[in-house]
């Protein structure tokens, strides 16, 4: 069934654009409703006037219908309102007055002026006050003109028949009033629709706001869960680190002691391999811990004075053995303009060099060569940027494999892990360390030709007196001998709940002339300290009954022990562990598994033999 209102609405809304706001849509609705309402009526009125013998009067509404059709077509095609707006305001205001004048003035055509009211009413709805006032003023000016020429019109124009005049009066009054009502009611409905749409959008925004609130709550809960998971992971890594390092310390220590005894070649080979495997396992554990620190953004660098040659010598010493076993030739070149005395983190720099050196050896074969080169990129009085190259003539890497090199737990391909081993974390850690040193790392490689890993670092130069750190094995040996000589005759209390660690440390300390008493927990240590004199305490941290932290607090409460050296020897090596032992009153921290030279150097720093 034909629905006039719905179809009229569809015609009006076909001129809307998606970006139109409510006010623009109301304006477009009025501009299209006026010609759609008046146009057909004007065509009918013009036809009747022609029939009654008034061609001038008939041509006026007919011209309005034609002009309206043309401007509507242009509007619906281009969606531009300027032409339609101006033409409708002028035509609807002027043509009714022209028609009234052609019919003989007020008496014969006064109802025609009802149509002219469309212009000022539409202006008052859609325009500002100033423009609306101008159109109302124009309407009243035309009324005044009509009054002024009324006598002339009455005397010179033949009116239409009385019956037609009455009929037109009724039709104009009814149709004009209906048209005005339709215009006002439609625009009012459009305003109501706009309000309804606005309310819907507000409700939709409220729903979205509620959704966002719920999402934010869920995100907050997820963040809390993630934080809890990170804490749990950190605790797990700390505990696992402690649990793994404690037996590893015993394995490395016991095999080290065994290698100091008289063994036949086969026994020495077996134990040496076990010792080397334990050290490799320690390297894997360190990689995992370092990677966890990188994930948590907790990896930190030290800033200490060091000698670059010592770092290079250490790397060559550790790489040389495996290279000689595979028949690979090593070479080192340090440009003469490279600064020797630097300030930074030599351990992390060594970690990167050793990682790249080990990889070069691992992926090279007998007869291949590996070269290490250090060059100076730029230098100021305070710092220097160095470039390190590690070049090998090994198996090389394809472009596709290079894309995966610096990704966690990834190697060139799966067969690499099976054939050569490794966690796939070394390059990720190296990349992070290099970036923290304000540098970058990259690789250039060709399959079956070889690879060159290059990285840059920014290091400070030592200021004032230069470091006297030596780089030779002889000086290292001298440091070890000096430390053990200073410790000879000391009496130490060893507090550790692990039998193997106690046995290993007792053997190691007694070998250099240190007297050792043992305790399995902090309470036993306090009891021994109450009855015997000691030059220092080696304290494990995690123990039953009373841990090392509480034991140290109790020791520091006693005035006679305020200067007693208490040194932590623990498998706790996560971030903050060193600070934690210092906070409770310990003097230093030795991580397990420990390096023997470093351990004796730390002990000699704090412990002085007394008279017992």
Percent of the chain with pLDDT over 70: 81
User: What is the Cα–Cα distance from 322 to 518, expressed in whole angstroms?
Assistant: 39
Is the pLDDT score of 500 beyond 90? no
Same-domain pairing of 340 and 387: yes
Say if 285 falls within a structural domain: no
Same-domain pairing of 390 and 495: no
Same-domain pairing of 371 and 451: yes
Burial of 45 (0-12, 13-18, 19+ CB in 10 A): buried
Same-domain pairing of 140 and 160: yes
Say if 321 falls within a structural domain: yes
Give yes or no for a contact between 553 and 585, defined as CB atoms under 8 angstroms apart: yes
Calculate helix-pair angle for 346-362, 308-326, nearest 10 degrees: 20
Give yes or no for a contact between 23 and 11, defined as CB atoms under 8 angstroms apart: no
Same-domain pairing of 149 and 76: yes
Say if 169 falls within a structural domain: yes
Same-domain pairing of 22 and 169: yes
Give yes or no for a contact between 160 and 103, defined as CB atoms under 8 angstroms apart: yes
Say if 346 falls within a structural domain: yes
If one counts the domains in the chain, the total is 3
Same-domain pairing of 455 and 569: no
User: What is the Cα–Cα distance from 125 to 435, expressed in whole angstroms?
Assistant: 67
Identify the domain boundary among 188, 208, 228. 208
Q: What is the pLDDT of residues 246-269, one digit of tens each?
A: 777 778 878 888 888 888 888 888
Query: Mean pLDDT throughout 196-222?
Result: 84
Same-domain pairing of 538 and 600: yes
Same-domain pairing of 173 and 107: yes
Burial pattern 180-200, b for ≥16 Cβ within 10 A else e, equals beebeebbeebeeeeeeeeee
Identify the domain boundary among 183, 208, 233. 208
> For the whole model, what pTM was predicted?
0.50
CATH of the domain at 520: 3.40.50.2300
- The domain in which residue 411 lies consists of 300-470
Query: Mean pLDDT throughout 79-84?
Result: 83
Is the pLDDT score of 466 beyond 60? no
CATH of the domain at 453: 3.30.565.10
Residue 546 backbone phi and psi in degrees, to 5 = -145, 125
Is the pLDDT score of 474 beyond 60? no
Give me the torsion for CA of 541, 542, 547, 550, rounded to 10°.
50
Same-domain pairing of 512 and 536: yes
Looking at residue 411, its pLDDT comes to 52
Residue with tokens 């015997």: 532
Say if 53 falls within a structural domain: yes
The SS3 call for residue 373 is strand
Say if 229 falls within a structural domain: no
Say if 486 falls within a structural domain: yes
2 Cβ neighbours under 8 A, 6+ residues apart: none
Same-domain pairing of 451 and 586: no
Same-domain pairing of 370 and 487: no
Is 572 or 488 the better-scoring residue by pLDDT?
A: 488
Confidence of residue 1 (pLDDT cuts 50, 70, 90): very low
Say if 487 falls within a structural domain: yes
Give, for 112, the enclosing helix (H) or strand (E).
none
Q: What is the pLDDT of residues 127-183, one digit of tens each?
A: 677 777 888 888 888 888 888 888 888 778 777 776 666 666 666 666 666 666 666
Confidence of residue 470 (pLDDT cuts 50, 70, 90): very low
Tokens of 104: 């003989």
Identify the domain boundary among 470, 485, 508. 470
Looking at residue 564, its pLDDT comes to 93
């Amino acid at each position: 069934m034909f629905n006039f209102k719905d179809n009229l609405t569809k015609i009006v809304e076909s001129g809307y654009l998606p970006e139109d706001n409510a006010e623009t849509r109301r304006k477009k609705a009025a501009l299209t409703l006026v010609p759609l309402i008046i146009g057909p009526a004007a065509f009918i009125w013009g036809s009747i006037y022609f029939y009654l013998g008034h061609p001038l009067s008939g041509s006026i509404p007919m011209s309005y219908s034609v002009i309206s059709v043309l401007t509507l077509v242009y509007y619906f095609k281009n969606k531009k309102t300027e032409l339609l707006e101006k033409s409708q305001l002028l035509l609807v205001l002027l043509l009714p007055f022209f028609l009234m004048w052609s019919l003989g003035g007020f008496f014969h055509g006064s109802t025609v002026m009802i149509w002219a009211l469309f212009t000022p009413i539409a202006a008052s709805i859609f325009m500002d006050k100033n423009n609306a006032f101008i159109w109302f003023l124009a309407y009243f000016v035309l009324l005044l003109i009509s009054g002024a020429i009324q006598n002339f019109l009455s005397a010179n124009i033949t009116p239409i028949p009385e019956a037609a005049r009455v009929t037109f009066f009724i039709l104009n009054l009814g149709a004009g009033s209906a048209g005005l009502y339709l215009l006002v009611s439609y625009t009012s409905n459009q305003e109501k629709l706009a309000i309804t749409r606005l309310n819907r959008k507000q409700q939709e925004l409220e729903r979205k706001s509620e959704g966002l609130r719920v999402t934010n709550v869920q995100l907050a809960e997820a963040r809390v869960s993630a934080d809890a998971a990170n804490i749990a992971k950190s605790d797990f890594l700390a505990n696992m680190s402690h649990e793994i390092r404690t037996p590893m310390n015993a394995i490395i220590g016991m095999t080290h002691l065994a290698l100091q005894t008289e063994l036949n070649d086969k026994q020495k080979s077996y134990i040496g391999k076990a010792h080397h495997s334990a050290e490799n396992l320690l390297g894997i554990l360190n990689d995992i811990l370092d990677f966890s620190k990188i994930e948590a953004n907790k990896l930190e660098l030290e800033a200490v004075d060091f000698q670059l040659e010592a770092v290079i010598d250490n790397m060559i010493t550790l790489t040389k053995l495996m290279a000689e076993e595979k028949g690979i030739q090593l070479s080192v070149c340090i440009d003469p303009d490279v600064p020797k005395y630097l300030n930074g983190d030599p351990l992390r720099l060594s970690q990167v060099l050793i990682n790249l050196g080990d990889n070069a050896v691992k992926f090279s074969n007998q007869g291949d060569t590996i070269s290490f080169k250090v060059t100076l990129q730029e230098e100021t009085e305070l710092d220097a940027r160095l470039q390190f190259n590690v070049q090998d003539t090994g198996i090389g890497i394809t472009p596709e494999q290079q894309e995966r090199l610096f990704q966690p737990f990834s190697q060139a391909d799966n067969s690499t892990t099976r054939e050569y081993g490794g966690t796939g974390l070394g390059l990720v850690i190296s990349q992070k360390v290099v970036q923290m040193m304000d540098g970058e790392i990259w690789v250039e490689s060709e399959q079956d030709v070889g690879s060159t890993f290059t990285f840059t670092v920014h290091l400070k130069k030592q200021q004032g007196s230069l470091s006297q750190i030596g780089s030779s094995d002889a000086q290292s040996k001298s440091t070890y001998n000096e430390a053990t000589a200073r410790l000879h005759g000391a009496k130490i209390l060893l507090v550790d709940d692990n039998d193997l660690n106690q046995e290993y440390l007792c053997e190691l300390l007694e070998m250099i002339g240190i007297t050792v008493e043992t305790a399995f927990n902090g309470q036993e240590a306090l009891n021994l300290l109450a009855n015997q004199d000691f030059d220092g305490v080696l304290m494990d941290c995690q123990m039953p009954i009373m841990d090392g932290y509480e034991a140290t607090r109790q020791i520091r409460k006693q005035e006679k022990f305020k200067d007693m050296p208490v040194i932590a020897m623990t498998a706790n090596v996560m971030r903050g562990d060193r600070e934690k032992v210092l906070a409770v009153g310990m003097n230093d921290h030795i991580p397990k598994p420990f390096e023997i030279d470093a351990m004796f150097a730390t002990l000699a720093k704090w412990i002085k033999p007394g008279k017992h």
